[in-house]
Structure 1
Amino acid sequence: MKGPLFYSKILLFGEYGIIKDSKGLSIPYNFFKGALKTDSQLSREAKDSNSSLKNFANHLAEIQSEDLVQFDIVALQKDIEEGMYFDSSIPQGYGIGSSGALVAAIYDKYASDKITVLENLTREKLLKLKTIFGKMESFFHGKSSGLDPLNSYLSLPILINSHDNIESTSLPSQNKEGKGAVFLLDSGMTGETAPMVQIFMEQMKQEGFRNMLKDKFIKHTDACVEHFLNGDIKSLFGHVKQLSHVVLDNFKPMIPKQFHTLWKKGIETNDYYLKLCGSGGGGYILGFTEDIDKAKKSLQGHKLEVVYNF
């Protein structure tokens, strides 16, 4: 049995900011994917996934009582008993939506009266899906916006205008010959969402941090989203540089220590600018460059993966 495929996602802009109503832009990333499979002989990873699904099924049974969504829990539990697991190439703890893809796959297969990609996706429907997915994914992260599963489920770029205003969008077409690029930089270590969000929430108690978030972080994030969608690359890079600076100054705990110098080097040389991919603490780091060859040279010894060309 091979279920439909669900892809990883990249939140290009909006990490942490969307908690406080900044804009955000999330895109599917088809390089990594996952699907529900059943096997009587399970490998060690598949066994782990299968036992995690058992606990997840209990969580889904609990959230059904809130009348937001109904699942065929009996069928789900039967399939889990028969050896169902989530077969995924999406690295966990890398900020590209491994749990989101799993949530999307389970909703797709077991939700009753599900909202599908084929219908007219009004704002109400998108928000309802996002709420359902947030409740489902909270099993993995404690608190979830529901955006990762939404992206994975729809496989469309999602523009977040504010907390309760989201829409699917289209991206400017890529210039495959272009030197400019968005890339992923592998930090070589995993990060955990919950502790990072905890640090952020602690910092939000300080007035200075709240002001910085509003006056700098959200201002540059919103501008980046606008310029990216309008294809205004020159203005985009000006704001990405500022954003990279703000993150280095104010989100140090979310940046793995050995990348502080590399982060600074990008801002000083203009060869590339780095930003958080998801909650940080490890996993992937997002990079933007106007000249990918220059960035590769500057970041020699690191693995770069291009996800979008300008």
Structure 2
Amino acid sequence: MTTVRVGWRFSADGRYAACLAAGEGDVLRPEVWDFTGPDPLVRPLASACDATTQISPLDGERALLCRNDDGRHRISLVTQSAETTLTAGRGPWMHLSGDLVTGDAIHRVTPHGLERLAALPPGASGPGIVLAPRLVGLTRPEAPGPVVLDLSDGSWELMPGAVTGARVLPGGLVGMPPGGPPQFRWRGRPVLGGLTGRVTALGGDGARIALRVERGSRSRLAVFTPSTGEVAEPAIPDGVLGSTAAFAGGIVRVPFSSPRAPGSVLSVRPDGVRLDPPARRLAGFPAA
């Protein structure tokens, strides 16, 4: 049976992942992945979800869920046996990123509900992009930006080269406003000008940024090192990459889908690649 997996999120260290999974004709349910052993452990969790549910992995085969519906939100902790509501209420759309939630302010999710950390800078909105343990990047759609918010004291400043309409992207890249030629900037300077194809930032670890490069119907993976300007394109199977990625030391992990490997995770290592679940044999397709 084919399993569909959507809404992928990785932990900041790339050791855990979570998604919403469903078999053919089934409802979406939370699923967590643990990459800390020699083979990944995949565990279904309690509760049913819809495609708008946001999920964030935790250790111990747990995850956070964030649901938004008609001006209301509910954030809960889900395990294999139960879902427990941590907080619920009315207000703006809530964006979940790790254990941080961005709405009318930035909060941390705790076992006792939400802990308010900092107000949003004027004109800023979620989702927030975690740039460092206490720094969050935010886009300001109608004002010069993006901005960097310091959660330790609530102070904020413009990112280098800020302009109205610029967006903060995973890994700390800045996407320039639409309407002109596609441009990315890193700390105010143009980057990635020589990379052909449609480029999407997927995630970073402070030193490297994983990129999805779409050329025709296929996705390629690129790893950008801002300090040197190097862009590496490791060899990967033909298929479509997801919209998020994470680094775990020398490994890059990204959701991957192809006719022979639907709903998989691609782990790219210095010595090769690994698919989990592995690619299957299909009639009319050559063996892997």
TM-score, normalisation: structure 1: 0.26
Higher strand share: 2
TM-score, normalisation: structure 2: 0.27
Structure with higher RCO (Cα < 8 A, 6+ apart) = 1
Higher helix share: 1
